[in-house]
Structure 1
């Protein structure tokens, strides 16, 4: 007799895989090898970017990055110290500034693909700071200095140490002729505002800003239809059923998962998701501690990078993920991180809800 998959999925006694039993260990060599465009943008190119005619800045950014790619694709010339200094002074450094969902990461990944994986390092700001911590500063400069281009997604300065370190890192890399391309939702001269006493580090921040040609990208968030996940929230029973029907799926209570994340270094959150194709979360409610909320932001970024759908159910009385972070957080210095996380989690939850709907149609 063939077992009923729906009954099997609904079996309350069945133990489902959990992220909280995972304790990944990541070698520094893997951190370096994984600095490539995320899977979500693996097939994107300049040709797949569709500028919105209502926002001409998108077309201008596209054209400028095509020019940068052409420049960086030219063979590197040898020479002595004088020539290297002259080449470094002409090395492009572009900064894509704009709101959420206007295609900044799409363009950054397209630039990386155009220049080529053998000549490009691609990572988020957080991933690069973790790399420095794992390899050491000098080894990181040597490793990244072998490439022609460094792409930095989600450029943010969250503390004075990062400000000094990143200023020095970019200076040493550009002196070696490495081109820089970065994305952020904050203009370079405003980095650090609201997070620490930015005025005390103004010279470092200004030095960073002076290195970049700013390309402003206007437009609407292409994920706006899924910024909140009220419609995508399921019942706990449905979340469990969707997870139970799939290999490579996990089920966790949000509070329990957040406690586990405090024991895993954020540089390992990507490895935490190795082999995972769907994440189920129950008991989703408002997070009221900033350190916990920032860990959740990193996890959402890694889920989004890997195109891992999420199915979730909210805690009793919770309004949904639109209220995942407190009003104070959404007004504070990290607000752009939180809004990005809401946008991305909304998109992933919409994908998860579609999977749940497909399941209902086939059972």
Structure 2
């Protein structure tokens, strides 16, 4: 959340009835969507020198080197006398021309190799006022277009030095055309791009829709980026114990009542409620939460529900909200069919992040 956004109400004191996500129907004004395009709380303090490369994975150290150089190249004035300047300060006339070669960097790698850490570090390292830098997930970017309209989004972001897009995914043809056009406009305006994804830019959309029918748009997106492959294992599980076993319903309920700012919801009811809230509001849905307590976790019944849960897991992880649950462990949320399908990388990321939050949630059951 940006510093200009008022601190949310943290809810009742410990011992009072816990909060409920199912009772929340947040409204998020468009100006808040713009103001919150900064690295989330988990990544407020990350920097390149706090990233710990795996010595056995040289691609990680190489990514840091390239990104530090990239950030240093963004130090020139973005506009002089009303004329926009390019990535490394090259001037342009009034009529912008499409620059030659990639205008951004694209971090490709498996979940848990530190791509978001590096992307946020790039944002922090770029020598520009925070108001001239934007950071958001792919979902948040498309939601911004929905809230502001396409032309206003172009106008809003065209004055920026850098746009960072985390979790870049193309889940449907409409998003493909929309984002391809938007990024093309921003590149013409001199905005540098950086993105992370689990999928190479030329492979975006595969397994989810007829990507071959939108090959021109996908290739156009790919042309904006220099791809950096980052290899490695999921740092969230590197040297850590197995995911904690779920608690009993009674233990979860007791912890929710004893924890200030905790929510308590039945898992199935929460999934039903998520269908009534636009994913752009899931961040606001979690405002002020100190913990999320869930009872009777069960397998997710269908793909639409699963994708909504992925977005919620991302927002909880961004905000470092611990999760305590009863029922099934999180690695059994998604069916084998889902884990072998086109969205498998999203589901594995959600499992990884929820497992990390479940470890954090263990402290809620510790004796005071």
Same fold? TM cut 0.5: yes
- For residues 31-65 of structure 1, the C-alpha deviation after alignment (integer angstroms, 9 at most, x for no partner) is 11111101111100011111111011111110000
Q: Distance in 2 between matches of 1:112 and 1:30?
A: 19
- 2:136 is matched with 123
Matches within 5 A, 1:150-229: 150-224=163-237
Q: Distance in 1 between matches of 2:314 and 2:33?
A: 16
Q: Distance in 2 between matches of 1:173 and 1:164?
A: 14
Q: Distance in 2 between matches of 1:355 and 1:209?
A: 45
- 2:4 is matched with none
Counterpart of 2:55 (choices 45, 53, 56) is: 53
- 2:20 is matched with 18
Q: Distance in 2 between matches of 1:73 and 1:83?
A: 21
* 2:116 counterpart of 1:105: yes
Unpaired stretches in structure 2, ≥5 consecutive residues: 1-13, 84-90
Alpha carbons of structure 1 residues 263 and 228: separation in structure 2 relative to 1, 3 Å: farther
Larger CA deviation: 231-240 vs 195-204: 231-240
Matches within 5 A, 1:280-319: 280-314=293-327, 318=328
- 2:156 is matched with 143
Counterpart of 1:333 (choices 332, 342, 362) is: 342
Q: Distance in 2 between matches of 1:160 and 1:228?
A: 41
Q: Distance in 1 between matches of 2:246 and 2:212?
A: 43
- For residues 121-178 of structure 1, the C-alpha deviation after alignment (integer angstroms, 9 at most, x for no partner) is 0000000001101100000011111110000000000000000000001100000000
User: What TM-score, normalized by structure 2, do the two folds share?
Assistant: 0.89
- 1:352 is matched with 361
- 2:289 is matched with 276
- For residues 155-202 of structure 1, the C-alpha deviation after alignment (integer angstroms, 9 at most, x for no partner) is 000000000000001100000000000000000000000000001001
How far the C-alpha of 1:355 sits from its partner, in A, is 3.1
Q: Distance in 2 between matches of 1:148 and 1:84?
A: 18
- For residues 313-362 of structure 1, the C-alpha deviation after alignment (integer angstroms, 9 at most, x for no partner) is 11xxx4x2111001110011111110000000000000001332xx32x3
Unpaired stretches in structure 1, ≥5 consecutive residues: 1-7
Q: 2:55 is paired with a residue of what secondary structure? A: coil
Counterpart of 2:258 (choices 245, 250, 253) is: 245
How far the C-alpha of 1:237 sits from its partner, in A, is 1.2
- Tell me if the contact between 1:88 and 1:178 (Cα under 8 Å) persists in the aligned partners: no
Q: Distance in 1 between matches of 2:44 and 2:195?
A: 18
Higher share in helix: 1
- 1:322 is matched with 331
Counterpart of 1:93 (choices 92, 101, 104) is: 104
Q: Distance in 1 between matches of 2:213 and 2:206?
A: 11
How far the C-alpha of 1:75 sits from its partner, in A, is 2.6
Q: Distance in 2 between matches of 1:129 and 1:96?
A: 20
Q: Distance in 1 between matches of 2:309 and 2:100?
A: 39
- 1:43 is matched with 45
- 1:114 is matched with 125
Number of aligned residue pairs: 344
- 1:4 is matched with none
Q: Distance in 1 between matches of 2:253 and 2:150?
A: 45
Q: 1:280 is paired with a residue of what secondary structure? A: strand
- Tell me if the contact between 2:198 and 2:345 (Cα under 8 Å) persists in the aligned partners: yes
Q: Which runs of 4+ in 1 moved over 3 A?
A: 79-92, 225-230
- Tell me if the contact between 1:141 and 1:173 (Cα under 8 Å) persists in the aligned partners: yes
